[in-house]
Structure 1
Amino acid sequence: MKSEVFLDCGASEEKTLAKKNELIVWLKLTACQRKLYEAFLKSELVHLAVQPKGSPLAAITILKKICDHPLLLTKKAAEGVLEGMDEMLNDQDIGMVEKMAMNLADMAHDDDALEVGQDVSCKLSFIMSLLRNLVKEGHHVLIFSQTRKMLNLIQEAILLEGYKFLRIDGTTKVSDRERIVKDFQEGPGAPIFLLTTQVGGLGLTLTKAARVIVVDPAWNPSTDNQSVDRAYRIGQTKDVIVYRLMTSATIEEKIYKLQVFKGALLRTATEQKEQTRYFSKSEVHELFSLPQQGFDVSLTQKQLQEEHGQQVVMDESLRQHIQFLQQQGIAGVSHHSLLFSKTATQPTLSERCTGQQTSTNVHDAPAPLQGILIRLCCWAAFAVKPKDGKFTAPRNSPSNRIAES
């Protein structure tokens, strides 16, 4: 793993791998986005989607697009609403998605809520304010989104600012991709590189960039991690900062919690350490509920601050940069890198076998059975965590003789 690589092979002096700071930037929905989000959750279409024969995935896709930019849901953009969805959807699901998109488009036009501009989307507004700061400081930036439609809106805003940029998505010819990557890595020009997650998230080396913006979270955490690894890989000499944009109290926050849960399961299986749980089972069933605390507060951000606030260690430049981010009207910042740095406290093997945890039940048993029960508890603990220590039991004890007989 990269975390285990310390020396840069071929260098005359010892050199450590560059640091990576992953920041979760919690954004507040604009008034327009809140209006659409609440109206959609209260609509009959969502009620039908959560029925046994409905399609929750279709409704989730609509909510994700509202979080990105309401203009994705106009009639002109409705035909592309299927973009980014699984190919396993049947015809009924596809028809439901199109119906939802057209309904939201009509809703937006009836209320005259949508206006062309950056202020309509909290994500686009934050991206542009961040780019002004990063480009001014001379950084190169990668911007990943799951959909071409969102990249189009970001591209329009970048053009209005007069920035140079490069772009790769599903419509880019394979023969042109190598040239575009080479222009970014070796050319003098564009400080901004726009990429779709599916096309630009694998196989590319873009170490010239030290800043990565992940516009929308994916269900699979490895998808976002692969995007980040375009910049944070062997050969990167600068410290990398990753900005994962998340809207507070929305479907995106709930997707992010599921990402954390999947990551914890992976680490529990591969590292044999019980990871801290960050959500309850009941929260999985609340995907389509309005937040009781409102859209300006992220309960996840508060929870992560309580869990990891004391662990945050930052140099002065990163501290100043986070202060700049917090001045942009956001709900807060979390440190994604610290998510799996804490493990749940588990009793050691010796504690399990001393009878401390079994004393209440074991000592209530008849005397001849107590030794058998204690021995079985020790064997069960050793079977679950065999690497925690070597199991031994006294061979000549009375309880041992009873168990063997």
Structure 2
Amino acid sequence: MSLNRLKETLLPCSSSSGQSQSQPRSPSPPRPPRRPPKTSLSQQLLRLEASYSLPAPPPSPPKPLSQKAAEDAAEQPTSSSEEDVAPRLRRRPAPPPAASFEPRGPYEPLVLSPPGEHPVVQVPPSINCRLLAHQRDGVRFLYNLYRNNHGGVLGDDMGLGKTIQTIAFLSSVIGKDNNQGEKSTDKGKKSSPVLILCPTSVIRNWENEFSEWANFSVAVYHGPNRDLVLEKIEGQGLEVLITSFDTFRTRDKVLCDISWELVVVDEAHRLKNEKSKLYTACLGITTRKRFGLTGTIMQNKIMELFNVFDWVVPGCLGDREHFREYYDEPLKHGQRLSAPERFVQVADKRKKHLVSVLKKFLLRRTKEETIGHLMLGKEDNIVFCRMSDVQKRVYRRMLQQPDIQILVNKDLPCSCGSPLTQVECCKKIEPRGIIWSYLHRENLDGCPLCPFCLVLPCLVKLQQISNHLELIKPNPRDEIEKQKKDAELAAAVFDTDIELVGGSAKSENFMGLSDSEHCGKMRALERLLSLWTLQGDKILLFSYSVRMLDILEKFLIRKGYCFSRLDGSTPMNARQSLVDEFNKSPSKQVFLISTRAGNLGVNLVSANRVVIFDPSWNPAQDLQAQDRSFRFGQKRHVTVFRLLGAGSLEELIYSRQIYKQQLSNIAVSGKIEKRYFDGVQLWTS
């Protein structure tokens, strides 16, 4: 074929079906001159001007038919025919790039200062018009604390906009507007900057929110240019400084020498341990205006409440021993299943008193109370998965190991005839135990905690077996001694089933790892995924173990599911693109994600099914995992499935989660909780 002939075959088809391909196409009419795009602020002003010029009726809502058609088009599975999809896409207008820029209120300032007080402190109109009703209440709460010269805690659920409320509050204190960057109040004359402490993973989110909501002078004290940032502070050219917990912990002496107007700690539950280096470093901040942001103010123990609030508002709950005797012990004893009536009455009085004190410094709101009318609800389900026959045999062998037997029999009479129990007499150490021998390889006489030093390692092994047998095999990334210990323990508990599970060494066999035959949870997951994908649902699949994520990834590949993955090793600059792709692409069916990974930008509202493959001792981690999907912007009913190994340790983990959630509801919200448990409350976390 000649070159000219090839060019003729590549000529584009004309718009008319009757014309031949060889005929030249008629020239297209000239395009109108392109208008410059309007900014989101100018669009808001135009809409506001139109609404004020026609004060009679508000703009009519969209027709139900078109709204229903739009929803049907959004939820309809992807069609294989492009002719069916293209017309629908042309008829539907493109969604706005950022929902947060849509006006949610009148274009007027939010006045925070009392009537008659000067100067007037207010949130500028450009920010106030985009706030929801509960967010305005949160801004008022923060300013009232600031005006009284002390701090407090904003304890809203994840997804209610704690960051936005904080920025709106700072705009009133500093006096910033988003339009011209001018001072809106005399409060802007303050020269002391604001300090924001947050996890490293959310520094970029804070930067982006500041740039989108107001015109602040913001710098990040993190990385190699820290000295330049300090020079800018000394020159009073900086209004907000953002730094990470790790950086502040190592550079606390330098940062605590600066006179801060106020300090904001994001994820304030990180201050729950008074012995941590971060808590000690934060005590050096001199300002009294200390603010905390957290959706899980209490995660494990009531004493965590004292640690957080004693830093935010020192002395508001008395001293440590007073809080322990007056609140902690009565509430715990009153929550026992077998608690006497007088204990219950004392606990109820102390609960009401604690809630009344905390209300002065804490604003706690849930999604149901604030934006519940905008969402279709959430359903939480517990799925007890029967372990496979191999898992059951391995689990029983693990229970028979000397390391676990010494803990099981610790309260039995000693076999030597002594009136003491075994743990008090001859069974403090267990040289035959594989785990004990490894932990005390440098001290064969044991440690002061023996045998209770075995509790956590043994619980970890039991939970690994209930999830997947591959998890108890040695990890090549560990040190040699630990690999030897794990290989020896795996060989002991596998016993005659060692060939069935691919040996005691870590396996990378694709067909073996992706097979659900020897894993009860993967069997249940296989049935759930096959049902949901046929219905067009999108699924979030969580696990706290990276090794389990690797196994689940092979399982999804074998089953042919299109998925994305995010864990701690995913680069920060790639996370948002993964989230956006999953939310926008109808072909993405599953998002495989670590329970511990993620930040403020991980908003997966396109998913309506959430699976937590392995429960955590800390219920806050599982609740935060659910909130990745159940948050503002979710248009479908969210169903959560927590997979538990039936008859395994995970049933007790779930019982412990319920008990911790009950304590949190009692101490923080003052709710009345039914007493379910007695023994689990004495477990260590």
TM-score interval (norm. to shorter): 0.5 to 0.7
1:277 aligns with 2:671: no
Distance, in Å, in 1 between the alignment partners of 2:487 and 2:525 is 25
Residue number in structure 1 paired with 2:404: 46
* Superposition map of 1:111-122 within 5 A: 111-112=497-498, 113-114=500-501, 116=512, 117-122=515-520
Q: Tell me the alpha carbon deviations over residues 248-281 of structure 1, each in whole angstroms, 9 at most, x when there is no partner.
A: 2211110111110000001111232341122222
Tell me, yes or no, if the aligned pair for 1:79 and 1:98 is still in contact at 8 Å.
no
Among residues 366, 377, 381, which one is paired with 1:23 in the alignment? 381
Residue number in structure 2 paired with 1:211: 609
Deviation at 1:48, TM superposition (A): 5.3
CA distance change for structure 1 residues 118 and 284 in 2, over 3 Å: closer, same or farther?
farther
Extract unaligned runs of 5+ from structure 2.
1-365, 409-427, 429-448, 503-511
* Superposition map of 1:247-286 within 5 A: 247-281=645-679
Distance, in Å, in 1 between the alignment partners of 2:454 and 2:552 is 30
Q: Secondary structure at the match of 1:213?
A: strand
Residue number in structure 2 paired with 1:124: 522
CA distance change for structure 1 residues 30 and 216 in 2, over 3 Å: closer, same or farther?
same
Q: Tell me the alpha carbon deviations over residues 97-122 of structure 1, each in whole angstroms, 9 at most, x when there is no partner.
A: 97356412453264334263201111
Q: Secondary structure at the match of 2:570?
A: coil
Structure having the higher helix fraction is: 1
Deviation at 1:179, TM superposition (A): 1.1
Q: Tell me the alpha carbon deviations over residues 341-391 of structure 1, each in whole angstroms, 9 at most, x when there is no partner.
A: xxxxxxxxxxxxxxxxxxxxxxxxxxxxxxxxxxxxxxxxxxxxxxxxxxx
Deviation at 1:155, TM superposition (A): 1.1
Q: For residue 250 of structure 1, what is the amino acid of its counterpart?
A: S
Distance, in Å, in 1 between the alignment partners of 2:661 and 2:395 is 28
Deviation at 1:165, TM superposition (A): 0.6
Tell me, yes or no, if the aligned pair for 2:544 and 2:594 is still in contact at 8 Å.
yes
Q: Secondary structure at the match of 2:592?
A: strand
Q: Secondary structure at the match of 1:120?
A: coil
CA distance change for structure 1 residues 138 and 103 in 2, over 3 Å: closer, same or farther?
same
1:181 aligns with 2:568: no
Deviation at 1:172, TM superposition (A): 1.1
Distance, in Å, in 1 between the alignment partners of 2:599 and 2:644 is 19
Residue number in structure 1 paired with 2:455: 56
Q: Tell me the alpha carbon deviations over residues 155-177 of structure 1, each in whole angstroms, 9 at most, x when there is no partner.
A: 11111111111000111111111
Residue number in structure 2 paired with 1:328: none
Q: Tell me the alpha carbon deviations over residues 134-156 of structure 1, each in whole angstroms, 9 at most, x when there is no partner.
A: 11111110000001111111111
Higher-Rg member (1/2) = 2
1:108 aligns with 2:494: yes
Q: For residue 62 of structure 1, what is the amino acid of its counterpart?
A: K
Tell me, yes or no, if the aligned pair for 2:565 and 2:592 is still in contact at 8 Å.
yes
Q: For residue 547 of structure 2, what is the amino acid of its counterpart?
A: K
* Superposition map of 1:3-402 within 5 A: 3-6=368-371, 16-47=374-405, 52-53=449-450, 54-75=453-474, 77=475, 99-100=485-486, 102-108=488-494, 110-112=496-498, 113-114=500-501, 116=512, 117-200=515-598, 203-281=601-679
Tell me, yes or no, if the aligned pair for 1:58 and 1:96 is still in contact at 8 Å.
no
Tell me, yes or no, if the aligned pair for 2:656 and 2:680 is still in contact at 8 Å.
no
Tell me, yes or no, if the aligned pair for 1:62 and 1:100 is still in contact at 8 Å.
no
Deviation at 1:44, TM superposition (A): 1.2
Extract unaligned runs of 5+ from structure 1.
8-14, 83-93, 288-405
Question: What is the aligned-residue RMSD (CA, Å)?
Answer: 2.8
Tell me, yes or no, if the aligned pair for 1:73 and 1:102 is still in contact at 8 Å.
no
Count of aligned pairs between the two proteins: 267
Tell me, yes or no, if the aligned pair for 2:595 and 2:625 is still in contact at 8 Å.
yes
CA distance change for structure 1 residues 197 and 102 in 2, over 3 Å: closer, same or farther?
farther
Distance, in Å, in 2 between the alignment partners of 1:97 and 1:282 is 33
CA distance change for structure 1 residues 17 and 281 in 2, over 3 Å: closer, same or farther?
same
Distance, in Å, in 1 between the alignment partners of 2:382 and 2:524 is 13
Distance, in Å, in 2 between the alignment partners of 1:203 and 1:57 is 33
CA distance change for structure 1 residues 95 and 225 in 2, over 3 Å: closer, same or farther?
farther
Distance, in Å, in 2 between the alignment partners of 1:281 and 1:97 is 35
Distance, in Å, in 2 between the alignment partners of 1:284 and 1:78 is 36
Tell me, yes or no, if the aligned pair for 2:385 and 2:644 is still in contact at 8 Å.
yes
Among all aligned residue pairs of Structure 1 and Structure 2, give the percentage whose two residues are the same amino acid: 29
CA distance change for structure 1 residues 156 and 69 in 2, over 3 Å: closer, same or farther?
same
Q: Secondary structure at the match of 1:238?
A: coil
Distance, in Å, in 2 between the alignment partners of 1:98 and 1:211 is 40
Q: Secondary structure at the match of 1:166?
A: strand
Distance, in Å, in 1 between the alignment partners of 2:370 and 2:663 is 24
Tell me, yes or no, if the aligned pair for 1:59 and 1:100 is still in contact at 8 Å.
no
Tell me, yes or no, if the aligned pair for 1:201 and 1:227 is still in contact at 8 Å.
no
Distance, in Å, in 2 between the alignment partners of 1:220 and 1:40 is 24
Tell me, yes or no, if the aligned pair for 2:655 and 2:680 is still in contact at 8 Å.
no
Q: For residue 154 of structure 1, what is the amino acid of its counterpart?
A: L
Distance, in Å, in 2 between the alignment partners of 1:282 and 1:211 is 30
Tell me, yes or no, if the aligned pair for 1:73 and 1:105 is still in contact at 8 Å.
no
Tell me, yes or no, if the aligned pair for 1:202 and 1:227 is still in contact at 8 Å.
no
Q: Secondary structure at the match of 2:591?
A: strand
Q: State the TM-score, normalizing by the size of structure 1.
A: 0.61
Q: State the TM-score, normalizing by the size of structure 2.
A: 0.37
Q: Secondary structure at the match of 1:55?
A: helix
List 4+ stretches of structure 1 deviating above 3 A. 47-52, 77-80, 94-98, 200-203, 282-285
